[in-house]
Every structure is written in C-alpha cells, then in structure tokens.
Structure 1
Amino acid sequence: MHKFQSSIEGKEFPLVLLEDRLKKEGYVIGGGWEYDHGYFDLLLSQQGEYLYLRLPFEAEGGELDKDDSTVRMLQPFLLSHQYDPDRDQDASSGAVSAAFNQFQSPENKDASLSPEQIEHGQATLNRAEKLLS
C-alpha cells in the first residue's frame, strides 16, 4: 500500500456529488462500505494483480444511506491485490468448479508496488482532485 498526500483529504462533499463525478470516471463504491465510512475504488490494472486507487471517506453528521449525506475525504492510497497465477481461471475447468472458484481471494492483499505503479496512481489521483476542485 502507498498513501498519497492529497488536496481532497479533509474536504467535505455531498455524497451524491462524489457519486456523480467519480462514477462517470469508472470509480465504484467498494464492497467494504459501512453506514459511517466507505471507499471509492478505481481499478487501474489487472496485469498479474489488481491495482486500485482507493479514495476513502467517512460520514459527517449522519449515515451514508441518507439522501443528504455529507462525507469527509480521508487519505487516498494505492493498493495491489496479488492473485495466485497457478489457479485455473478459464472455462476448461468445468462449470461446477467455475461456480465455486470464480471469486478467488487474494494471495497477497498488500503486494509491493513498483515506482511506475505509484506514478500511475499519482497521475490518476491528480485527475480525481481536478474533478473535485
């Protein structure tokens, strides 16, 4: 994981505004959201691992399921999930096997990051900052 310094950290936004602007760019609200916090995730790469830029946020004065929710942005970070390359992920493994193995858990939830990946993450974060300024 690599944490970034960001101009959006600490800023408050209506959640609907974030959803409108970020989802158009491919961000999704990650599956780990709760009523008081969550993440906007953008998949940057699937080459050997899944590389995500994650924009965390927390609810300000309420819960996230309200129409007028306001959130405060937390420190963005880059995250790499490395998967087992030896697992057979193609259709030849059979329908029964595919039904059970389609959602493989990461072999390494916090794989190391290259300087190029960090640079790519920073450039992507810069675009997000411009969208939200």
Structure 2
Amino acid sequence: MYTFQSSIEGKEFPLVLLEDRLKKEGYVIGGGWEYNHGYFDLLLSQQGEYLYLRLPFEAEGGELDKDDSTVRMLQPFLLCHQYDPDRDQDTSSGAMSAAFKQFQSPEDKDAELSSEQIDQRQAAFDRAERLLS
C-alpha cells in the first residue's frame, strides 16, 4: 500500500455528488464498505495483478445508505492485489481468466508496488482532485 497527500483529504461532500462525479470516471464503490465508511476504487491495471487507486471516506452525521449522506474524505492510497498465476493455468483467454479470478482471493492483498505503479496513479488522481475541487 502506498499512501499520499491530497487536497481533498478532510473535505466533506454529499455522497450522491461523489457518486455522480467519480462513477463517470470509472470509479466504483469498493466491496469493503460499511454503514459508516467506504472506498471509491479505480482499477488502474490488471497486468499480472490488480492495481487500484482507492479514495476512502467516512460518514459524517448519518449512515451511508441515506439519501442525504455526507462523507469526509480520508487519505487516498494505491493498493495492489497479487493473484496466484498458477491457479488458472488451464485457461488461455483473458475473459475466461478474469471470470475465474473474480472469485479467487488474492495471494497477496497488499503486494509491493514498483515506482512505475506509483507513478501511474498520478494522472488518474489529478483528474479526481479536479472533479472534487
């Protein structure tokens, strides 16, 4: 995991505004959300591993399933999930491989990041900051 500073950290937004703006850029609400916190995830790469730009948030004065939910943005980070390449050695097509990997648990949920992967997040994150400024 690689954390970094951001101009949106600590800012509050209506959750519906975040959903509207970020989903248009390809972000999804990650599967690890709860009633009081969650993540917007952007898949940056799936070349041997899954590289995500993650924008965490927490509820301010209410629960996330309410129409008027307000959230406060937390420190963003990059996350790399490394999968076992031998698990799907019998599949050759990318679509078939992806179909199996969606049910496969990561071999390493917090794989080490290369400097190239860290650099890769900059353009995507700059767009998110502009959308939310």
What TM-score does the superposition give when structure 1 sets the normalisation length?
0.90
1:18 is matched with which residue? 18
Q: Structure 1 runs of 4+ off > 3 angstroms?
A: 99-102
Residues 18-97 of structure 1 mapped to structure 2, 5 A cutoff: 18-88=18-88, 90=91
Say which SS state the counterpart of residue 86 (structure 1) adopts.
helix
Secondary structure (helix, strand or coil) at the match of 2:84 reads coil
How many pairs align?
127
Deviations 1:50-91 (A, max 9, x none): 000000000000000000000000000000000000112628
Deviations 1:68-115 (A, max 9, x none): 0000000000000000001126289xxxxxx98750000001111111
Which whole-Å CA distance do the structure 2 matches of 1:49 and 1:101 have between them?
A: 10
Q: Which runs of 5+ in 1 are unaligned?
A: 93-98
CA contact (8 A) 1:4 1:122 kept: no
Kindly report the root-mean-square deviation, in angstroms, between the aligned alpha carbons of the 2 structures.
Answer: 1.8
Change (3 A) 1:131 1:111: same
In the TM superposition, residue 123 of structure 1 has moved relative to its aligned partner by 2.2
Radius of gyration: which is bigger?
1
Distance in 2 separating the partners of 1:88 and 1:120: 27
Gaps of 5+ in 2: 94-98
Amino acid aligned to 1:33: W
- TM-score, normalized by length of structure 2? 0.90
User: Secondary structure of the residue that 1:122 maps to in structure 2?
Assistant: helix
